Amino acid sequence: MPDSKGTLTVITGPMFSNKSGELLRLATVHRIAGRRVGLFKHSLDDRYDGAGTISTHGGQSAAAEPVATSGEVELMAGGCDVVAIDEAQFFDAELAVVCSRLVADGRAVLVAGLDRNFKGEPFGPMPDLLAHADNVMKLRAVCMRCKSLEGTMTQRLIDGRPAPRSSPVILIGAAESYEARCRDCHELPD
C-alpha cells in the first residue's frame, strides 16, 4: 500500500554518524506499516558481513541486494513500495534521476550516503540527491580528536596519520582507515 505521493529522504553525514542504522530503522518502520521494502547497497562495500548485507559500525545488519549501478536498483525495485539504498556516494550520477522516477511512481525512497569525501568535497551523486530530497537528515558523529559532538567530516588515516590530499577518493574501510572529526580537527596535508 504505497503512499499516494512518493517521497525522497536522504540520510547523510560523515562516517560513524549511524547513517546505515537510521536507514535500517526507517525501513523497519515501513515494514511494520505493511509496506514492501527493498534494501539495496552498492556492491563495492563488502565490509563486515559482505556485499549482501547492510551493516552498521555498531553491529546492526540486514540482508540487502548488492548492486553496482542505479539502473540495477530501478530494475529490481519493481515490487517495492519502499526503496532503501545504502552507500549512495558510490553510485553513478544517474542515481538522483532514478530516485526521482521511483518517487514519481509513488514510492518512498530512502537513501543513505556520505555527503563529502575525506577531502571535504561533495561525494558522487549526493549533491543531486540532496537537491531533489523532500527530507534531509544530516547526522553528526563524535569528533575523535576533541570529543565534541560536532563531527561533520570524515578523516582518512594512513598508519594512524591524516591521509594526504593526493590519496585516492575511494578506499573501502572502517575504523582502521577513517574517523569522524569536526571542522577544526579535520586535517588534509598536501
Would you please indicate which residues are annotated as catalytic (active-site) residues?
Answer: 87
3-class secondary structure for 43-84?
A: CCCCCCCCCCEEECCCCCEEECEEECCHHHHHHHCCCCCEEE
Q: Which residue has the cell 505521493?
A: 5
Nearest to 109 by CA among 121, 100, 97: 100
* Sign of the dihedral through C-alpha 142, 119, 71, 129: positive
CA 116-101-65 angle, 5° bins: 65
With residue 113 as reference, give the H or E element that holds it. Answer: strand 108-114
